[in-house]
A and B are shown apart, each in its own frame.
Chain A
Amino acid sequence: GAVVSQHPSRVICKSGTSVKIECRSLDFQATTMFWYRQFPKQSLMLMATSNEGSKATYEQGVEKDKFLINHASLTLSTLTVTSAHPEDSSFYICSARDPASGSYEQFFGPGTRLTVL
């Protein structure tokens, strides 16, 4: 199947700093990527849909000024958690769909574990 990478895999930062997470589709072009967040013992919750060349679409309750998404190319989307606070500590996962495949399957990155002190 298609491969999606994420970087970094883990980050620990101080409260008030900003953290950028990268999501790359390695062997396909993804016009759409998705960003999810997963708190302990909970399921994945979609935060936003990242569209190449246009603004991201955010889910209800997700602050777009707090979680900045940039999808500047067909293989890269970035999520920046601005002024991170301890409550932002979570597992952030991106996914991408390969439009050329004709399938709805989404391929997930390995996730980024964010800990804000």
Chain B
Amino acid sequence: RKEVEQDPGPFNVPEGATVAFNCTYSNSASQSFFWYRQDCRKEPKLLMSVYSSGNEDGRFTAQLNRASQYISLLIRDSKLSDSATYLCVVNRGGYGNKLVFGAGTILRVKS
């Protein structure tokens, strides 16, 4: 079983749609959690950190459930420019604070 698992998609949605991505992680000692966005042939860029209390940044809402070891990302009012691969990322903690990446979920927003 992979340490971080995501539905690979692709999710094909029309502009304006609301879309939700899920992620589960297996290491209960994981300390911090992130969603990154990666465009084709580019480096990943931090979209947002994820907190237990839930957090929102504009059209993006992230949730963390430590008991279920589950992370989610909700995108409202999808834009064409949201098309990308969304990576669920977990910080294992410990020496070096290593990040473990999920395989990513592909989102395609169409007009």
Residues of A within 8 A of B (CB): 1, 32, 34, 42-46, 49, 57, 91, 93, 95, 97, 104-106, 108-111, 113
**A49-B91 Cα distance, complex, nearest whole Å:** 14
Residues of B within 8 A of A (CB): 31-32, 34, 41-46, 49, 87, 91, 96-104
Instruction: Please indicate the chain B residues that have their CB under 8 angstroms from the CB of A91 in the complex.
Output: 41
Can you give 22 A-B contacts (C-beta < 8 A)? Answer: A1-B46, A32-B96, A32-B97, A34-B96, A34-B98, A42-B103, A43-B101, A43-B102, A43-B103, A43-B104, A44-B87, A44-B101, A46-B100, A57-B96, A93-B44, A95-B99, A97-B97, A104-B31, A104-B91, A106-B99, A109-B43, A110-B42
Asked if B46 contacts A43 (CB within 8 A), the reply is no
Instruction: Please indicate the chain A residues that have their CB under 8 angstroms from the CB of B101 in the complex.
Output: 43-45
Instruction: Please indicate the chain A residues that have their CB under 8 angstroms from the CB of B49 in the complex.
Output: 105
The closest CB in chain B to the CB of A97 belongs to: B97
Asked if B98 contacts A49 (CB within 8 A), the reply is yes
Instruction: Please indicate the chain A residues that have their CB under 8 angstroms from the CB of B45 in the complex.
Output: 108
Instruction: Please indicate the chain B residues that have their CB under 8 angstroms from the CB of A106 in the complex.
Output: 99
**A53-B52 Cα distance, complex, nearest whole Å:** 37
Quick one: which of B31, B32, B43, B102 has the most chain A CB within 10 A?
Answer: B43
**A42-B8 Cα distance, complex, nearest whole Å:** 10
CB distance from B107 to the nearest CB of A (A): 15
The closest CB in chain B to the CB of A106 belongs to: B99
**A106-B36 Cα distance, complex, nearest whole Å:** 11
Instruction: Please indicate the chain B residues that have their CB under 8 angstroms from the CB of A1 in the complex.
Output: 46
Asked if A111 contacts B43 (CB within 8 A), the reply is yes
Instruction: Please indicate the chain B residues that have their CB under 8 angstroms from the CB of A34 in the complex.
Output: 96, 98-99
The closest CB in chain B to the CB of A6 belongs to: B43
Taking A43-B87, A97-B97, A109-B43 as known contacts, 15 extra A-B pairs with beta carbons closer than 8 A to each other, sorted by chain A number, are A32-B96, A34-B96, A43-B101, A43-B102, A43-B104, A45-B101, A46-B98, A46-B100, A57-B96, A104-B31, A104-B32, A105-B46, A105-B49, A110-B42, A110-B43
